[in-house]
Amino acid sequence: MDLNYTEQQNAFRQEVKTWLAANAPAQPLQSFDTAEGFQQHRDWEAKLNEGRWGMVTWPEELGGRACDLIEWLIFEEEYYRARAPLRVNQNGIFLLGPTLMEYGTEEQKARILPKMANGEEVWSQGWSEPNAGSDMAAIRAKAELQGDKYIINGQKTWSTRAVWADWCFGMFRTDPDSERHRGLTFILVPLNTPGITVRPIPQLDGLPGFAEIFFDNVEVSVDNRLGGEGEGWAVAMATAGFERGLMLRSPARFQETARRLVELYRENQASADADPSIKNAVLRAYMDAESYCLTTYQTACRINKGGKIGAESSTNKIFWSELDQAMHATAMSILGARAELLPHAPDAAGVGTWLDGWLFAQSGPIYAGTNEIQRNIIAERMLGMPR
């Protein structure tokens, strides 16, 4: 065990820091759930890609730097410290990208990954359906193979970023007689295809961060199938694996929230201490964010040395989503009567972006598999309890 960064790792950190200092936007971009903000974030992805910082873990021929997981964690630390923009194409670069590298054909990789990397094509997800939420194997949207085309009919919902995205990936039932997780196929669909209707759904903040997608005889080339027909479930499970989860929500994000929370507490200590539970909650936030970081480093080091991810990685999502919720709840308590005010309200001095974060934190325990589903997985696969 050696908990020091190597010279090479320190040099890498310095390089990230220097580039971000010169290139990260000085002012926060608008929300990517607005038309203008979406374009700003798309431009930022292009800039990151020019600097070869778009996806540092990707191979060099795809504009990456072939970084290992420790370098990825270092990159993320500097990224969040620099308050660089959230990644509008996270569905693409963090989730679909690595899956494509594993299951895609050479043609698909060459066609799709470069445009994903530079933000030219932004991706949304098409997993859930009105009757297939936690029970994803209940998917009913169907894709029928006719010649070299799939004819897709049905409905997807809760498709994050779908309002302005260019593509959607998801699972469709290709075997009409199949049940549950058999007979599903993973298909990539351009959202400008005739027959598609995207209906925006406003989220808690009033902005259309997700959407319903209706498919009415939508024709998609068979070239857009990822993996074999009927193998959709296996491909989807890969998309949801640990490393993707790590990339989606790296520790730096929560450590920076914890740091801001300590600052907020310090600035408001006199009023905050009127509620004796706040001090403990601030402490808790710091400790838990550190625990998340330490645990992630330990796992990353084990993987770097050829170790395997075990079922214990299913604890990850519960831990960070509940941490995020708790930290924002504490911030709301510290802000007291100001907490409900929108940032532009005339008397909202010092509220920062906590309210936005609080609203978003409500979604953490729900998306990417509810925490109840995660608890079932932990009990059955990690602890071996009976089904």
Q: CB-side exposure of 129: number of CA atoms within 13 Å?
A: 19
Closer residue to other proteins (CB): 193 or 371:
371
State which of residues 197, 280, 343, 350 lies at the interface with other proteins (CB under 8 A): 280
Residues that are catalytic: 243
The residue within the footprint of other proteins, chosen from 2, 60, 107, 177 (CB under 8 A), is 2
Q: Beta strand 225-226 with 184-190: parallel, antiparallel or unpaired?
A: antiparallel
Taking CB under 8 A as the binding criterion, the range among 45-53, 55-63, 329-337, 376-384 that sits at the site for other proteins is: 376-384
Based on the shown chain and the rule CB under 8 A, indicate whether residue 293 belongs to the binding site for other proteins.
Answer: yes
Binding mask 213-232 for other proteins (x = CB under 8 A): --------------------
Q: What is the DSSP string of 64-133?
A: -----HHHHHHHHHHHHHTTPPP-TTHIIIIIIHHHHHHH--HHHHHHHHHHHHTTSS-EEEE--BTTBS
Q: Tokens in use for 316?
A: 């990850």
Using CA atoms of 316, 318, 320, 321 in order, give the dihedral in degrees to the nearest 10: 150
Ordered DSSP codes for 6-24? -HHHHHHHHHHHHHHHHHS
83 binding other proteins? (CB under 8 A): no
Interface stretch with other proteins, choices 56-64, 313-321, 326-334, 356-364 (CB under 8 A): 313-321
Q: Which of 23, 203, 295, 362 binds other proteins (CB under 8 A)?
A: 295
Using DSSP's 3-state secondary structure scheme, residue 168 falls into: strand
Helix (H) / strand (E) element for 207: namely none
Q: Is 227 in contact with 103 (CB distance < 8 Å)?
A: yes
Shortest distance (Å) from residue 20 CB to other proteins: 12
**Interaction residues for other proteins, span 3-42 (CB under 8 A):** 3-6, 9, 13
Return residues touching other proteins (CB under 8 A): 1-6, 9, 13, 70, 74, 76-78, 80-81, 251-253, 255-256, 258-259, 262, 266, 279-280, 282-283, 286-288, 290-295, 297-298, 300-302, 305, 307, 312, 315, 318-319, 372, 374-376, 378-380, 382-387
